[in-house]
Amino acid sequence: MNTLPDIKTQFPEWYNQVIYKAELVDESPVRGSYVICPYGWSIWEHIKSYLDERIKITGHKNASFPLFIPESFLNKEAAHVEGFSPELAVVTYAGGKKLEEPLIVRPTSETIIHHMFARWIKSYRDLPLKINQWANVVRWELRPRPFLRTTEFFWQEGHTAHETYEQAQEEAELMMQEYVAMAHTILAIPVITGTKSEQEKFPGAIKTLTFEGVMQDGKALQMGTSHLLSQSFAHVFNMQFQDHTGAQAYPHLTSWGATSRLVGAVIMVHGDQKGLVLPPAIAPIQVVIIPITRKDTDTAKLKEYISTIEQRLTSKSIRTHIDDAEHKSPGAKFYEWELKGVPIRLEIGPRDMQNNSVTFATRIESEKHTTSANAIETFIGEKLQYIQEQMLTIAQEKRQALWHQAEKLNVFGPILAEQNGIYQTGWCQRPECEMKLKEYKATTRCVLSEKTHTQCFACDRPSISDVIVGKAY
């Protein structure tokens, strides 16, 4: 029977238990770091594989920069080091000796990559320079939560240099569009995009674009960001090039990243009382086959029948797993694979074999149906496609119910504090007003380009544009 905490009233406990029970992660002996188990890592690999292909198609090249960053590099950009210093892990001894200069385990690689960019960019012919890195990074977390906020996490970090401000802006926006497409296409998560406030933006950036997901408990999750760094880092690292006119100029920079936190988003957007619900595009197993036997079943024959069906599915690259463990009952298997969020379950017993059929249930609808085993690969392929699309629709509906229009903080603040939820409201864009959200444990999540609310949520000044306000992970 299901022993997960109530997803409606105990969401954090539900999350904490489901990730362990579904074998996504395990605790590690290093505080704030987690072991990502094969089932969890496979989800990340599928996200990575999709995103890596898109990053390459859009003209970026992968490279690798050192894990360690000399302490002096981080100190070069004042806002940058200030933003990261409480989170740093520092290597002070190596090779049996105290190091002359401590090395920082990278919390992000802007500084070391910009140091290299300064060597590589000599002429306008070297631009645009478009580099990406898949890496592990470390930020010392006081309150770690698996996938969402961990000391070591995994990401891609894109770093680009351009001749003009416009080109850099275009790049930052293009990659944000790619992230949104990824969220919709493979994660089945509808997101809200906009810019971060001055307070919430990346240390050292002049503009941060963000995409935010709304979790089932009504909290927002920042799922990834794209930064227009423009010329500040270029000045700091003395990155100069000869432009088309022959003059020396500073390039305009961007950086953008998405992390293993996306796995957390998928869990929190789609999960239900029975456990995970995984979008087919990133599910480690898309179809699980459970043999149903009785005492008089010809098991050798059934095995052969099941094997034929498996082969037809895998011939269409459908990720299929046969759970033929003999020490578990079919019921226990149903429970386990529901908990693990497998999109489609096939049950195949003697009657199916006789009728050349299979019995199936989808994770999102759960009623059992029977279908012919002829062209089963086409049928399941289409079903997976349907589930993928349906999951986005369901997630959109859930988000809609949590997304409120609001005018004044003193009205919506207390409700937000009590119930969570996302509030779209007007803002004068002054930090004083933003500060007032603290009382309700909320922050500005992103500034929209729309302007439907005329007045600031906190003061009587006119709104400059709408802003999304909410509590965040």
Q: In terms of CB distance, is 36 or 236 closer to a second copy?
A: 36
Residue 187 in the binding site for a second copy (CB under 8 A): no
Closest CA to 4 of 29, 22, 27: 22
For the bound state, the minimum distance from the C-beta of residue 272 to a second copy, rounded and expressed in Å, comes to 26
Residue 5 in the binding site for a second copy (CB under 8 A): no
Question: Which of the residues 439 through 458 are near a second copy (CB under 8 A)?
Answer: none
Among positions 11, 15, 73, 179, the unique one binding a second copy when judged by CB under 8 A: 73
Distance CA(220)–CA(38), nearest Å, equals 27
For the bound state, the minimum distance from the C-beta of residue 455 to a second copy, rounded and expressed in Å, comes to 41
Q: In terms of CB distance, is 66 or 414 closer to a second copy?
A: 66
Residue 112 in the binding site for a second copy (CB under 8 A): yes
For the bound state, the minimum distance from the C-beta of residue 168 to a second copy, rounded and expressed in Å, comes to 20
Q: Which 3 state secondary structure label does DSSP give 313? A: helix
Q: In terms of CB distance, is 85 or 378 closer to a second copy?
A: 85
| 367, two tokens | 């009623």
- What binding mask, one character per residue, do residues 145-184 give for a second copy by CB under 8 A, x or -? -------x-x------------------------------
For the bound state, the minimum distance from the C-beta of residue 35 to a second copy, rounded and expressed in Å, comes to 5
Q: Stretches 136-144, 250-258, 307-315, 337-345: which one binds a second copy (CB under 8 A)?
A: 136-144
Amino acid of residue 200: E
- How many residues are given for the chain? 473
Q: Stretches 69-77, 191-199, 357-365, 464-472: which one binds a second copy (CB under 8 A)?
A: 69-77
Residue 193 in the binding site for a second copy (CB under 8 A): no
Residue 35 in the binding site for a second copy (CB under 8 A): yes
Q: Taking the mean position of all CA atoms in its chain, how far away is CA 18?
A: 18
Distance CA(302)–CA(322), nearest Å, equals 12
Distance CA(321)–CA(242), nearest Å, equals 57
CA angle in degrees (0–180, nearest 5) for 425-428-431: 105
In which region does residue 94 sit, left (phi positive, over 0), alpha (psi from -120 to 50) or beta (all else)? beta
Phi, psi of 61 (to 5 degrees): -120, 140
CA angle in degrees (0–180, nearest 5) for 360-363-368: 30
232: how many CB neighbours lie within 10 A of its CB? 17
> Which residues of this chain interact with a second copy, rule CB under 8 A?
26, 28-30, 33-38, 41-42, 45, 61-70, 73, 85-96, 102-103, 105, 112, 115-116, 119-120, 125, 131, 136, 138, 140, 142, 152, 154, 325, 327
